[in-house]
Structure 1
């Protein structure tokens, strides 16, 4: 029986896509969208170089800004030079706007220093990488991490200023900045100049205190305790207890006749003065140097001692030397001083003459202006140079020595006293004390001989006998004459009583006396009447009283 023929396959072309492919296509689309979304939301990848990766872990350590997570560490590897580590971090989208060469990164971990305590929250959450974003500058993806967190971040309101100082002193990062004993900022950075000649210190003054800094504001080092010993005595100055430990900087704008100027701009340079006194001293451009020669001791005079004119400082001492003159075999002490004529206020148009005219200086010297050493403090013994007028000083003129004008001097008051004492001692030495002593010795010897002589002893014996006789006579007089004197006194008393009875107010003698006085008064009146009559009728002396009648 023949085999049955095999069925033939018939190909039928489908009119539409099978539903079986819908699911893979949908999955592929979702996957592609998720991949695109992930890629589009992924931020830039950066690398940060650190000295150590202590506390950092790939896939766990976060990158944060103000406690907001903006990335994560993806890898950590050692640098090719084995001098540090390189941390790769993946940041979120949008962070590329502030990835500039001024942006800073550091590891936030617990830190306890003398100036601040930070990062305590990482004790529980673990270390993380902090960022201080800055939008200004050139875009970059590689950064050098900071070893320590910055003192001030860029979002802190305020202004940064730069100070120049010969040394750093006891200043450090975080050292406070004071204005009138109120902390208004702190030190944020310092660096040594390339030539090593000075130190540049960056300070940050917070708002609104930064408006107190002007172009002529003075900054000074307020670290520790400033103790100065000068002719004015002992001066102790400190800003606060905190500045004793951390150091500090203070600033102020001196109050002068001139205006304090415009507000200072950011990054402006200021000199850093060593102390408050140096900061508040005015700066004078015109300086003139003179030489003074002293012959006495200058112990207590030091370089930097003030030069005063009528009690006001006009300069300072620059140098002190000891010079030997072989011609006169003596020593002199030249003292170099520096005068700032601008410290002396003068009328308009006269200042140039005061500064440059030597004739005016000659006139001052001719009027008695001299230099003299004075004691500024009895406790310390510090001396200063006093310029004043001494009308009684010997005449002197200006001189020249070593290219300097030599100002005449007068001895110090202690030297004048010493000279007078020496003169007195010289006169005492010249006084013939030895001869006077010999004469006194001879006189005493003669007196002793006279006292010890027999004639003196006999005279004393006779004198003693005479005194005894006088005492005996006085006793006899007292015994015989005393009663008689008493009787005479009683009689005198009786006599006085009788006299009082006669001349008393009621006594007979008193009444007679009154009558006599009345008669004398009547007689006086009669004589006055007769004299008046004769004055009117002088012819009565010849003709009688009735001779004028006819």
Structure 2
């Protein structure tokens, strides 16, 4: 009985030999699970080409954190696209929103920036921007270049290009020189035959843009030759090299807030944008010119020395063919500044026009510039009348004649052209010849007078040294007196030579001889 119990006890004891197989089984199951059932999501990325992408090496990153690896690269069934198969780690499958964006990061140098330098040593990689959609997806389009504007919230708008310049993605959109947005991408509209840009205005600056705002291409360097001379301004290096897009509102209308997918026109320069923004203004007037050469689009309109507007369109014909009718004057459209203290210009100017007291005078801007400015002034009634009161339903400001420095120069030039140069040249040559003969005669007379005077002066000088002259006699008397004086001094000189103290002691006294005492 006891032997049976011991046998049962030995059978129920756990053998240590089973540990190794059990561990191996667990490891195998975990490997199968991790490599088959829990190895992450396999996604497809469609791109135009896969330059720099390698199977098993290229990483997929989100905010510089590795979230997956490229497993395979193939071609689409129609051979038009490259298909990249990437495995996303299980912990990061929530990044695969249907509107997430993937793009390839590699070294790029263009006119707007330099990017991807960190991939020179590590190699290219794929990065993504997480979308906001609640739906997940396994197929995405992988962009060849870095998209712009995904890192900040903003409002997407469309800019229809009316200029000839091509704008690159990444170009800044500035408001008074401050960046408030960026060009995201571009496309060509086959129906409208022009380029359409997708732009993003940052949400915190959206209040600066309304439906009354206008956009234009800023070339960078701004030069202006005005009354104060040549003025120019140079923006930042980025804007100078690649240019930028500026946005502003010139009219005084209250605009509606910016909305998503709003469409705007991108004008070629500020002048075109300003004209489009002010064309519906109420403060518009017309000048009727005989010749448009003194004025140009952009010429300033001045009132009492202050700029209050400018010429925005010249010529401003309703029908361009009217330009070739010589009986028609050339209209110039003026638009007054609506901001600040000039919002009541229409009321003031209309009142002056009704009283025939508002006139326009074309004055030269400066000596260096050939263009003119429009000076509005209050003048007498007789000078402020015009045969044309209205043009295209706008009031016409009469023009009065002006005489400025440039006109004076022109008048002088006309008078100079009327002078007969040949006759004037002949008379001038004859006058020069006569003057030359006169100079020769004067020279001869002068030389003759100079010679006669010199001979006479020399004769007088020599005659003063003649034996009968007073000077000669004075010299002879002086010589005689000098000889007598020398004769009288001769004995004294001899005596002093014999005895040096003769001038102090008498020369007749004898010298005392010493004697010896006691003899």
Q: With structure 1 as the length reference, what TM-score do the two structures score?
A: 0.56
Contact 1:223/1:238 (<8 A) preserved: no
Give the RMSD, CA atoms, in angstroms. 4.9
Alignment of 1:32-431 (within 5 A): 32-136=29-133, 138-152=135-149, 154=150, 156-157=151-152, 159=154, 162=157, 164=159, 165-167=161-163, 169=165, 171-176=167-172, 186-193=182-189, 195-197=192-194, 199-203=196-200, 205=202, 210=205, 213=208, 215=210, 221-229=217-225, 234-249=230-245, 283=278, 285-287=280-282, 292-295=287-290, 297-310=291-304, 311-314=306-309, 316=311, 318-320=313-315, 321=323, 323-325=325-327, 333-340=329-336, 344-346=342-344, 360=351, 363-365=354-356, 368-391=357-380, 393-394=382-383, 396=385, 399=388, 406-414=396-404
Contact 1:225/1:237 (<8 A) preserved: yes
Query: SS state of the match for residue 74, structure 2?
Result: strand
How many Å separate the matches in 1 of 2:387 and 2:40? 83
Query: SS state of the match for residue 121, structure 2?
Result: helix
Deviation at 1:303, TM superposition (A): 3.7
How many Å separate the matches in 1 of 2:34 and 2:101? 29
Q: Give the aligned partner of residue 464 of structure 2.
A: none
Query: SS state of the match for residue 61, structure 2?
Result: strand
The 3 A distance-change label for structure 1 pair 421 and 95 is closer
Query: SS state of the match for residue 90, structure 1?
Result: strand
The 3 A distance-change label for structure 1 pair 279 and 124 is same
How many Å separate the matches in 2 of 1:396 and 1:182? 48
How many Å separate the matches in 2 of 1:184 and 1:314? 28
The 3 A distance-change label for structure 1 pair 70 and 218 is same
The 3 A distance-change label for structure 1 pair 197 and 232 is farther
Query: SS state of the match for residue 143, structure 2?
Result: coil
**Alpha-carbon deviations, 1:163-217, whole Å to 9, x = none?**
6353374642333455666667654434445634563342465x9x748846588
Query: SS state of the match for residue 242, structure 1?
Result: helix
Deviation at 1:93, TM superposition (A): 0.9
Q: Give the aligned partner of residue 545 of structure 1.
A: none
Deviation at 1:103, TM superposition (A): 1.6
The 3 A distance-change label for structure 1 pair 248 and 62 is same
Query: SS state of the match for residue 374, structure 1?
Result: strand
Query: SS state of the match for residue 314, structure 2?
Result: strand
* Count of aligned pairs between the two proteins: 387
Deviation at 1:88, TM superposition (A): 1.2
How many Å separate the matches in 1 of 2:285 and 2:213? 32
Gaps (5+ residues) in structure 1? Answer: 1-14, 326-331, 430-550
The 3 A distance-change label for structure 1 pair 43 and 23 is same
Query: SS state of the match for residue 87, structure 1?
Result: strand
Deviation at 1:401, TM superposition (A): 7.3
How many Å separate the matches in 2 of 1:294 and 1:336? 7
Q: Give the aligned partner of residue 7 of structure 2.
A: none
Larger Rg: 1
Query: SS state of the match for residue 60, structure 2?
Result: strand
How many Å separate the matches in 2 of 1:121 and 1:406? 65
Deviation at 1:273, TM superposition (A): 6.4
How many Å separate the matches in 1 of 2:27 and 2:285? 95
Contact 2:157/2:261 (<8 A) preserved: yes
Contact 2:105/2:119 (<8 A) preserved: yes
Deviation at 1:231, TM superposition (A): 7.1
How many Å separate the matches in 1 of 2:35 and 2:337? 78
The 3 A distance-change label for structure 1 pair 272 and 235 is farther
How many Å separate the matches in 2 of 1:308 and 1:174? 40
How many Å separate the matches in 2 of 1:97 and 1:141? 11
The 3 A distance-change label for structure 1 pair 300 and 50 is same
